[in-house]
Amino acid sequence: MKISYDARGLAEPAAQAPRVATVEPGENGARAVFDAADLTTRQINLELRRLIYDEGVVDVTLRNPGAKHSLAVGILARCRITIDGSLGYFGCGLIDGPEIEVKGRVGWSVAENMMSGVVVVDKNAGSLTGAALRGGDVVVRGDVGARSGIDQKGGTIIVGGNAGMMTGFMLQRGRQIIRGNVGGGLGDSMYDGAIYVGGKVTSLGVDCVEAELTSSDDEFLARKLRIYGLEPPGGWRKFVCGRKLWNYDNLEPAERKLVL
Amino acid sequence: MCGIAGIIHRDGPGDIGAEITRMLQSMKHRGPDSSGFALYGPPSDLLVMRIKLADPNEARGFGWTERLERHRNEIEHRLAKIGAMVDVMHGDQEYAYRVTFRYTGELKPLADYMEDVPGCEVLSLGHSLEIVKDLNDAESVAERYRLNGFTGTHAIGHVRMATESDVDISGAHPYWAYPFSDIAVVHNGQLTNYHMWRRRLERSGHRFQSECDSEIIAVYLAQKMDGGLSLETAMKQSLDELDGVFTYLVVTADSLGVAKDEMAAKPLVLYESPELVALASEEVAIRAVIGHEIDTWDPYEREVLVWHR
């Protein structure tokens, strides 16, 4: 039977890399620039892949992203990508290796499930920043929306401004550094990891408690802020899991009967 | 899913018909079922009413056109009978009409009398509000209703992916706050205490045409404003009284407001400048009307913001 739809669910299954970038040799490898204004999401991603995987370009600049969704996703190589504008939802997701700078704003779920690398956003970000982050640094110089680092399993999220509610919801490992204020329900149901806050905390979530700052925390905070050129706030507070909900060894009632 | 968008010019009338169409079209992927517009033209002494007499996707049996023609004449006849001086009655479609008339009485008896005509639904009624909604994407609706040249101060719009009720004009947003003049709402989300509020509002005499939960928001807010509350206070109360997830936009004769639920569960991107405010479910929609590089941000949970033209 002939399949009349694209089994991968792609909107443009027949899309080809448009080959519009200008490539020139640089000091550490080839550099490329292209304009995304008239390209579709898939064409832009195909062009990025072509440049990075096939042409071996190490530094790509993407102009006029126009807040399109799902740009610069799934890049699994060390390279530098500069996005000269704003991204929509799900930007820079599922990446492993690249250093990405977004000169504008990003929508929801930036750097979702990132394995390693760096994503720096110069302006604000939407909700769910660094959702399920596994490694690397996600830096937002402006404010972020709600639920930053939901289900985060590693890496560091650094926010220059304020963060919304439920920041660090279900945080499992990794760290978050919020220079400004955070909304209600901070660290709700977090398993592990640490959240550092420079400003006011509206309220703590379930099983999130304040902890003493250690000298290694101070060293870590100073180092991370120095790398990204952020001014330290007046002081830091550290929040961790209270471990009241750690019931991993407890048996379910049905299992307990079996054991007895 | 659904997509919502709004724009308000603070420095005099703008090309809102074309602008809101571009905003909605860029979010077509959020909901291709139907598109709707609530537009505010220059206020006038005359009342402007938008009605529909049938749905475009209903079965067109024998005599469909004749029946619509008969109902159209009945509307005109009834307007004269209730004491309205009709200025212009114009049909963009054979089932959708725009009527301007002079009338000084209560709006509810007039709207009820119109809706008594079989198939008739009053989509909007006021001194400057006009609601246009129909099936398919924003561009095709705007073309069918010739919204391109529509100038005014503010507008909201909605692209719908139907989840809770039918794909028809009655289920499409925006909703007019029947029978309160010049108030309309678009909504992205679901209200979980819809039935409770619907029954409560029905007990105070309001009518609902669809099974869509969003329909109650407009009436809920308008009733509070009718009781003397400001738009902002009414919206703040809605954060506690409406359950569920929502980001809704509300427009009145001179203002545009937005409210987000306490989980900030539905997206909204906002751009604010001295000349205009544009807001939408996605930033692409804002960039569809603003050519230069802009800074945008997401309002937080339980935020209520109101701008005046």
CB–CB contact A105 B297 (8 Å) = yes
Secondary structure class of B188 (helix, strand, coil)? strand
Residue A245's pLDDT band (boundaries 50, 70, 90)? confident
B214-251 pLDDT per residue, tens: 999 999 999 999 999 999 999 999 999 999 999 999 99
Instruction: Calculate how close chain A gets to B287, using CA atoms only, in Å.
Output: 7
Q: Which of B289, B296, B303 is the best substitution to test chain A (most A C-beta atoms within 10 A)?
A: B296
**pLDDT number for residue B73:** 96
Burial of B228: CB neighbours in 10 Å, binned 0-12, 13-18, 19+: exposed
Of A66, A86, A146, the CB nearest to B264: A146
**pLDDT number for residue B39:** 97
CB–CB contact A66 B284 (8 Å) = yes
Q: Mean pLDDT score of chain A, rounded to an integer?
A: 93
Rounded Cα distance between B202 and B57, Å, is: 28
CB–CB contact A146 B282 (8 Å) = no
Chain A positions touching B287 (Cβ under 8 A) are 66-67, 86
Active site (catalytic) residues of B: 2
What value of ipTM does the predicted structure carry? 0.88
A161-173 pLDDT per residue, tens: 999 999 999 999 9
pLDDT (average), residues A13-18: 89
Q: Mean pLDDT score of chain B, rounded to an integer?
A: 95
pLDDT (average), residues B43-55: 95
Task: Say yes or no to pLDDT of A4 above 80.
Answer: no
Percentage above 90 pLDDT, chain B: 90
Long-range contacts of A113-116 (CB under 8 A, 24+ apart): A114/A138, A114/A155, A116/A155
pLDDT (average), residues B61-71: 93
A246-257 pLDDT per residue, tens: 887 777 777 777
Residue B17's pLDDT band (boundaries 50, 70, 90)? very high
What type of residue sits at position B266?
K
User: Given CB atoms, is A123 within the 8 Å cutoff of chain B?
Assistant: yes
pTM: 0.92
Task: Say yes or no to pLDDT of B176 above 60.
Answer: yes
From A194-208, B160-174, B294-308, the region with the lowest mean pLDDT: B160-174
Task: Say yes or no to pLDDT of B69 above 60.
Answer: yes
User: Given CB atoms, is A86 within the 8 Å cutoff of chain B?
Assistant: yes
CB–CB contact B300 A145 (8 Å) = yes
Instruction: Calculate how close chain B gets to A6, using CA atoms only, in Å.
Output: 18
Q: Where are the domains of chain A?
A: 16-89+96-102, 124-229
**pLDDT number for residue A246:** 87
A28-42 pLDDT per residue, tens: 899 999 999 999 999
Instruction: Calculate how close chain A gets to B260, using CA atoms only, in Å.
Output: 12
Of A85, A126, A143, the CB nearest to B293: A85
Rounded Cα distance between B72 and A212, Å, is: 75
**pLDDT number for residue B58:** 87
Domain B3-43+128-308 fold: Glutamine Phosphoribosylpyrophosphate, subunit 1, domain 1 (3.60.20)
Chain B positions touching A127 (Cβ under 8 A) are 264, 267, 298
Q: Where are the domains of chain B?
A: 3-43+128-308
Secondary structure class of B270 (helix, strand, coil)? strand
For A:226-255, CB contacts with B below 8 A are none
pLDDT (average), residues A8-31: 87
Task: Say yes or no to pLDDT of B204 above 70.
Answer: yes
Residue B180's pLDDT band (boundaries 50, 70, 90)? very high
With vertex at residue B120, the alpha carbon angle to CA B167 and CA B160, rounded to the nearest 5 degrees, is 20
CB contacts < 8 A, A to B, total: 61
Chain B positions touching A146 (Cβ under 8 A) are 263-264, 300-301
**pLDDT number for residue A252:** 77
A79-121 pLDDT per residue, tens: 999 999 999 999 999 999 999 999 999 999 999 999 999 999 9
Bridge pairing between strands A137-140 and A153-159:
parallel
**pLDDT number for residue A2:** 53
Of B267, B286, B300, the CB nearest to A183: B300
Instruction: Calculate how close chain B gets to A98, using CA atoms only, in Å.
Output: 25
Of B269, B300, B301, the CB nearest to A107: B269
Helix (H) or strand (E) holding B140: helix B138-144
Task: Say yes or no to pLDDT of B177 above 80.
Answer: yes
pLDDT (average), residues B36-45: 95
**pLDDT number for residue B228:** 96
From residue A182, how far is each of A154, A190, A239, B27 by CA, in Å? Answer: 20, 16, 12, 31
Task: Say yes or no to pLDDT of B289 above 80.
Answer: yes
**pLDDT number for residue A5:** 57
Task: Say yes or no to pLDDT of A174 above 80.
Answer: yes
Closest CA to A224 of A170, A174, A182, A164: A174
Of B264, B284, B287, the CB nearest to A165: B264
In terms of CA atoms, which chain B residue is nearest residue A185?
Answer: B263
**pLDDT number for residue B284:** 94
CB–CB contact B300 A164 (8 Å) = yes
